[in-house]
Structure 1
Amino acid sequence: EFPVDENWGAGAYVTAMLYRPMDVDLGQNPARAVGVDWLQTDTGAREIGIRMELPDIADPRSTLAVPIELDGLAPGEPARVTLAAVDVGILNLTGFKPPAPEEWYYGQRNLGVEIRDLYGRLINGLQGTRGRIRSGGGESGLTMNGAPRTEAPVALFSGIVPADNEGRAEVTFDIPAFNGTLQLMAVAWSADKVGHGSVDLVVRDPVVLTASLPRFLAPGDQSRLWLEVDNVSGPAGTWSLDVDIDGPVTATPDRINEFELDSGARHAVAVPLSADLVGNATVTLALSHENGLELAHSYDLRVRPAQPPVTRRSVQTLAADTGELTITPDLVADLVPGSSMVTLAARRGLLVDVPGLLGELDRYPYGCAEQITSRALPLVYLNDVAKDLGMAVDEDLKQRIDEAIVRVVQRQSSNGSFGLWRAGGDDLWLDAYVSDFLTRAGEAGHTVPARAFGQALDRLENQLAYNNQTSGAGDDVAYALYVLARNRRASIGDLRYFADAKLEEFTTPLARAQLGAALSLYGEGERATRAFRAAVSELQNDQSEDPGWREDYGSDLRDSAATLTLAAESRTANVALPALARVVERERIEKRYTSTQENAWMLLAANALNSDDADIVASIDGASHRGRLLRRLTDEMVRAGPLTIANEGERDFQAVVTVTGVPTVAQPAASNGLTITRSTHTLQGEPVASDVVGQNERLVVVLRITEKEARRARLLVEDYLPAGFEIDNPRLVAGGETGNLAWLGQTSAPEHVEFRDDRFAAAFERSGGEAETLTLAYVVRAVTPGRYVHPPAVVEDMYGRDYNARTALGKVEIAGPEPR
């Protein structure tokens, strides 16, 4: 017997051990046995019971009052309660259970056991199998990302509500237009008691209207909206349905008629839809009865471009007093209405299209560690610029930077390194780049997790202790030294040594500039100037062709922009910034496509030289303007009429205009160092020759990317689905896992793969050993009948985007029952 007192808390473990004599022959039975059992104490006096009075059925678009009664409280005992109401469908996705604080505080504890004896060694280890440690789980191998939801998810929360002296409280919720089941979850607590309660509540209209829409459309698509009307408890009689659409989608009204519907009966109707322009549409369904009863429900439907956008860039000098530039609707005449954006940047210093580059980074849809960092890094300094351009409110931009910090930290492994697509990696340059972003974000006032940041800096120090070789490269060593110097953790002796004895061994201009910036942070002006001038000389005299691949994700344009940024930030170094700015402009002119690295560092360079634009004097459609001139014009603004910018100052300045949009004419197939083909097959491997497929038919899409010659590259493959199709099985068909799709043969394993509502995407890192053909496959299902544009499949090197290929635009039809 054991006396139970308050010191037991939630309970205690009882353990018993049995040892057998070693002189008794019991075969392979263990020499020792251990028994463990948990003794739970009675915690009923410290638990709060919760009762909620709810109707059997609640109406959508109404106010729900939930009376809550708390049991187990002493008279007048203060208590508080929270209440959440969440769609059960959301909770079922993850198997979410209602929060139960009494289980946390009073539940069974984990038992920590350590037994010190020799009996464990008596087991014959030769007869067992060696254990395997399971690792991973921080990120799924597949990434599912969805298009914007057609309906807003229902997740309501009351906040903290105090109970009265009798243990009662009331919470009210405004229920949206929702048909389904809500789970109401309450948590209550007092000074020494806790409890929880949950109950399901059915929410529905007397007549339930269910709409099935395609997840998205493209201009030129013809689809349908399938409506089902279920008269659960409404009146019988004549009903009429009205479909109102706000946005670039139209419905055929003559298909919508009055219909008779008895109580308990159902009625279905298909409404033809067609998409005209790019944009977002709101579909509102209004159901009314002859007695005056009205019900309404709204859905969101996105119309996305049918092919990738193109970008055009032009530069014009505006002479002092007389120079003019006019932006006319002709600039976007050959682009799909609603898809275009025109940006203007007038500069006297570095000619960089700040709003255009911010927009391009903002639109980039993928997120390896480098890309997440490159999107967020310029916003640390250009928050006010982005806000002025209407890209987001200030708080949203701050949140975007904070979210980027969280996302890159999620890619960090226990040793402090950062992986490109998932936690874990061995890329010192990437470690330094992410650490640079975290450093700058912390300096700007953002919250950076101290432990993760400390581990990142420790990682740089440890890597430099074992790897300080600069011969033939050194770009990662120089960057690590710069980041450590910015955090006052670099060795000044090491910096002086590299500057005096190893400077010429750093083969990239940026590495020399980073060494110079590190020296400048320690007040070594002479050595810093020498390192920067070595970097500038390399940039100015480099006549070699850009190799297209570098371990540090870079290019000549990235190096020149980053060198300019560091030189402008370094106060003790004496560098001719105008000459360096001309190098950046020269490299930019030679580039048709730019990478996230190049865009990020050009923005930082423009920010560092921002003061050069302070004396610009201009007029915009007659309105005076002084200082920095940046504009971001929507498609609607450009098509509304011309916009004239005139130079009214005493000095010339240059203006760069960037036009981005989707062409109205289909782009042909293209091949630049790569080729890509797309074919469709039945599940048995038979080619699908027709452009017409049946509703609910499952197909296998096969992509083949062929390298014309061996080349190192970081490839990104994108295959946009036609509207009406959905990826059926979000699983890459990899070699050895083809199952019933064995006819595919060996398929390629990518570094990263994503299955989204509107596309399939995969990333590869090519070694450059031999030219190969990469094969990818995934399964789709034809869901919504209609005639759809089939967007092209695209492949490109993410950091050398001139290395690319795409298929031609196509058409496809899903055959289904005719609308009635």
Structure 2
Amino acid sequence: HAVDQLRVEVADLDAEAALAEIELLRRRRFEAGDVEDADIDGGERDIGGVAPGDTAYVTLAAVDVGILNITSFEAPSPQEFYFGQRRLGVEIRDLYSKLIDRMQGAPGAVRSGGDAGASMVSPPPMDELVAIFSGIVTIGPDGKASIPVTVPDFNGTLKLMAVGWSKTGVGQASQDMVVRDPIVMQVSQPRFLAPGDTSRISIDITHVEGPVGAVRLALTGGDGIVKLEANATADLTLSEKGHQRILVPVTAETVGDAGMTLAMTTPDGTVLTKNFGLPVRSIAPETVAKSAFELAAKGGTLTLGDDIFADFVPDTARATVSITGLGGFDVAGVVRALDRYPYGCTEQLTSRAMPLVYLDQTILAAGLSGGEDVAKRVNDAISGVLANQSSSGGFGLWQPDSGDLWLDAYVTDFLTRARETGYAVPAESFTLALDNLKNSINYLPEKPDFGPVAYAYYVLARNGRAAIGDLRYYADNEVQNFATPLAKAHLAAALALYGDRVRAESVFRTAVGAAENDSDPARATRSDYGTALRDGAAVLT
């Protein structure tokens, strides 16, 4: 009985009755650019259920129905949540989000897969998206609340969702509100164009209410970016509930964002406007032009003018100048190429961040874009690769995984270098990564791929975790089976880190000789993502 009495009290807050008396004002624009507020008012009726001296609150959300349909969103219902009928069963609750991730010392996060199982009821709207929330509004002493809602350039249906509550009750209500002009303009334009493309802008005019007769359209904007070939202005005759369509041919001229304005003069002289954008983007691959000049000693100069961009699309080119004793080695350009790489698996995150650990800030500033702090980029990369670390200490490309020894060594090498230069790497994650390398080389098959094995030994030696006896054995008995110059160089570097100079120099000479030989018999079968160019660079450094 106590539960029944409480349910009656709470359900008695009649927000639905109040929302039923809301005055819905259809939005109209009487001057170009003027958007009138839709005033949502509780009217003269008090919101029922508020006890004398009690304070009640309400929130109002106005959201485009097209957005809600994407996920079949239902209006919030506190009454149903607290007092709705439930079948008997087991309810599962977890505290996963409160746990501390032992790998990174941060609260855990639930990650689920993309759009699996999504149900699309209707496509997203092409008009400006509308999702407005009032925040908490206190009901006045007279039992009323007035909430103004400023609606942007929008034609469609908004769902109004109100939730009210006080110390003794809750309530909710929802209602659809149609927002439209007396004559609706619908513009369908290309999502984007490339320079030289031709397409059409479709303008649909539909009479809903009001006077009928002559209608004048004027489409303007986009000067210098797009060119309107015809029908930029048109005179139409619109009948009752009639519909007309105009096609405006358009040609893209140069890269940019074309701002367009469509103005319509209705039969009664009202001017309605609609703004939209038409982006123009180049779909050509990025072109890099490199030039090398020698500066004369004692006063040699180099002057760069606007003509260096003559062969490029305006406002899309950028130049960097490197002054170095290593002719043809454009460090800033290489950093920029890495920075623009669009993907983000574990290997790619590591490759983008590795040079940032060492390079001079001036070179980085020349090569990087966006002005983002270099330390933040490195820290983000550390967090990104550790998110793909498994409990065994190994790394996966897109998720926690293991089994790729070269990838494990590569990421652990990056974490080692980051630690050495002062970046914070979680100790437990780093120890797990080293333990994984140690365990992997302790259980090698009879004829392993020595490329990843040599890299793992090098990383372990850099951290003082390699077995010097194993290194000497491989140098004395197995070096001929290290198929690539890079594998031999890793073995030699590991020996050098332990002070075995004689063996290190011997293996290094073998690595240099292999790198100077253009033939690479292991190229077709190697599993270390390597090339002859990369081998040569690694042996050199």
TM-score between the two structures when normalised by the length of structure 2? 0.67
293 and 429 in structure 1: CA distance in 2 versus 1, 3 angstrom threshold: farther
Q: Alignment partner of 1:217: what SS?
A: coil
- 1:394 paired with 2:372, answer yes
Partner of 2:435: 461
- Going from structure 1 to structure 2, the CA distance change for 1:195 and 1:256 (only over 3 Å counts) comes to same
Which of 237, 261, 280 is residue 260 of structure 1 equivalent to?
A: 237
Higher RCO (Cα < 8 Å, 6 or more apart): 1
Distance 1:278 1:77, change over 3 A: same
Which residue, 1, 5, 26 being the options, matches 1:57? 26
User: CA-atom RMSD, angstroms?
Assistant: 5.4
Residue of structure 2 equivalent to 1:163: 138
Establish whether residue 204 from structure 1 lines up as the match of residue 173 from structure 2: no
Match 2:226 to one of 245, 249, 255: 249
The structure 1 residue matched to 2:113, chosen from 138, 149, 168, is 138
Q: Aligned equivalents of 2:188 and 2:159: distance in 1?
A: 24
Distance 2:128 2:363 in 1: 31
Question: Per-residue displacement from partner, 1:112-163 (whole Å, max 9, x unpaired)?
Answer: 79xxxxxxxxxxxxxxxxxxxxxx98356999xxxxx9765434445x5363
> What does 1:287-306 align with in structure 2 at a 5 Å threshold?
287-289=264-266, 291-306=268-283
Tell me the alpha carbon deviations over residues 713-747 of structure 1, each in whole angstroms, 9 at most, x when there is no partner: xxxxxxxxxxxxxxxxxxxxxxxxxxxxxxxxxxx
Correspondence for 1:178: 154
Cα shift at 1:165: 7.1
TM-score calculated relative to the size of structure 1: 0.47
* Structure 1 segment 522-541 matched on structure 2, within 5 A: 526=499, 538=511
Equivalent residue of 2:528, what SS?
Answer: coil
Match of 2:72 in 1: 95
C-alpha distance after superposition, 1:464-488 (max 9, x if no partner): 42544396644445656777899xx
Partner of 1:312: helix, strand, or coil? Answer: coil
Match of 1:111 in 2: 90
Query: Contact 1:495–1:515 (CA<8 Å) still a contact in 2?
Result: no
Match of 2:105 in 1: none
Query: What is the CA distance between 1:347 and its match in structure 2?
Result: 3.9
Shift in alpha-carbon separation, 1:312–1:257, aligned structure 2, 3 A: same
Give the superposition deviation at 1:440: 8.0
> Which letter maps to 1:282?
G
Q: State whether residues 246 and 283 of structure 1, in contact with CA within 8 Å, keep that contact through their aligned partners in structure 2.
A: no
- Which residue of 1 is the match for residue 321 of structure 2? 344
Q: Residues 399-432 of structure 1: CA distance to partner in whole angstroms, max 9, x if unpaired?
A: 9975x78876776778775554677564233345
Residues 25 and 39, structure 2, Cα contact 8 Å, conserved in 1: no
Cα distance in 1, alignment partners of residues 147 and 378 from structure 2: 33
CA contact (8 A) 2:203 2:246 kept: yes
Q: Deviations over 1:562-617 (max 9, x none)?
A: x59xxxxxxxxxxxxxx73xxxxxxxxxxxxxxxxxxxxxxxxxxxxxxxxxxxxx
Q: Answer whether contact 1:63 1:175 (CA < 8 A) is retained.
A: yes
Return closer, same or farther for 1:267/1:214 CA change in 2, 3 Å cut-off. Answer: same
Q: Is the 8 A contact 1:150 1:215 kept in 2?
A: no
Give me the whole-angstrom Cα distance separating, in 2, the residues matched to 1:41 and 1:90: 39
What are the equivalent positions in structure 2 for 1:123-522 lying under 5 Å apart?
138-139=113-114, 153-158=129-134, 160-161=135-136, 163=138, 172-185=148-161, 198-236=174-212, 237-246=214-223, 248-254=225-231, 256-289=233-266, 291-337=268-314, 340-347=317-324, 353-375=330-352, 391-394=369-372, 402=380, 418-420=395-397, 426-433=403-410, 458=432, 461-462=435-436, 464-468=438-442, 469=444, 473-477=449-453, 492-502=464-474, 504=479
Q: How many residues align?
A: 490
Q: Does the residue aligned with 2:234 lie in a helix, a strand or coil? A: coil
Q: From the superposition, tell whether residues 174 and 555 of structure 1 become closer, same or farther in structure 2 (CA, over 3 Å).
A: farther
Q: In 1, Cα distance between the equivalents of 2:51 and 2:374?
A: 46
Once the two structures are TM-superposed, the CA of residue 281 in structure 1 deviates from its matched residue by: 2.7
Cα distance between partner residues in 2 of 1:400 and 1:286: 50
Structure 2 residue aligned with 1:695: none
Whole-Å separation in 2 of the counterparts to 1:99 and 1:483? 55
Describe the shift of the 1:252–1:519 C-alpha distance in structure 2 as closer, same or farther (beyond 3 A): same
Question: Which runs of 5 or more structure 2 residues have no equivalent in the other structure?
Answer: 30-34, 93-110, 119-124
Give, as a single letter, the amino acid of the residue that structure 2 aligns with 1:302.
P
Residue deviations 1:54-90 (CA, integer Å, cap 9, x gap): 6253458444555689876666667776654433323
Structure 2 vs 1, CA of residues 314 and 466 (structure 1 numbering), >3 Å: closer, same or farther? Answer: same
Percent identity, aligned pairs only, is 38
Quote the Cα distance in structure 1 between the aligned partners of 2:502 and 2:114: 45
User: Secondary structure of the equivalent of 2:406?
Assistant: helix
Three-state SS of the structure 2 residue aligned to 1:230 is strand
Contact 1:240/1:288 (8 A) holds in 2: yes
Deviation sequence 1:627-661 (CA, Å, 0-9, x none): xxxxxxxxxxxxxxxxxxxxxxxxxxxxxxxxxxx
For residues 551-630 of structure 1, what are the structure 2 equivalents within 5 Å? 551-558=527-534, 580=541
More off after superposition, 160-169 vs 249-258? 160-169
- Whether the 8 Å contact between 1:211 and 1:227 is mirrored in structure 2 is yes
Partners in 1 of 2:406 and 2:387 — Cα distance? 18
Give yes or no for contact 1:184–1:201 (8 Å, CA) kept in 2.
yes
The secondary structure found in structure 2 opposite 1:314 is coil
Deviation at 1:242, TM superposition (A): 2.3
Contact 1:473 1:508 in 2 (8 A): no
Secondary structure of 1:344 counterpart: coil
Structure with greater proportional helix content:
2
User: Letter of the aligned partner of 1:251 in structure 2?
Assistant: L
> 1:760 is matched with which residue?
none
Give the Å deviation of 1:221: 2.0
Residue 228 of structure 1 deviates from its aligned partner by 0.5
CA offsets per residue over residues 746-783 of structure 1, 9 Å max, x none? xxxxxxxxxxxxxxxxxxxxxxxxxxxxxxxxxxxxxx
Contact 1:435 1:483 in 2 (8 A): yes
Q: Distance in 1 between matches of 2:316 and 2:390?
A: 40
Shift of the 83–255 alpha-carbon distance from structure 1 to 2, 3 Å rule, reads: closer
Pick closer, same or farther for the CA change 1:172–1:516 going to 2, 3 Å.
farther
Please tell me whether the aligned partners of residues 488 and 510 of structure 2 are also in contact (alpha carbons under 8 angstroms).
no
In 1, the alpha carbon distance for the partners of 2:321 and 2:149 equals 47
Q: 1:94 to 1:400 in 2, by over 3 A?
A: farther
Query: Aligned equivalents of 1:405 and 1:71: distance in 2?
Result: 57
Distance 2:244 2:286 in 1: 42
| Structure whose residues are more often strand by fraction | 1
Q: Letter of the aligned partner of 1:543 in structure 2?
A: E
- Contact between 1:509 and 1:536, CA under 8 Å: does it hold in 2? no
Amino acid at match of 1:209: M
Alpha carbons 1:332, 1:340 under 8 Å: kept:
yes
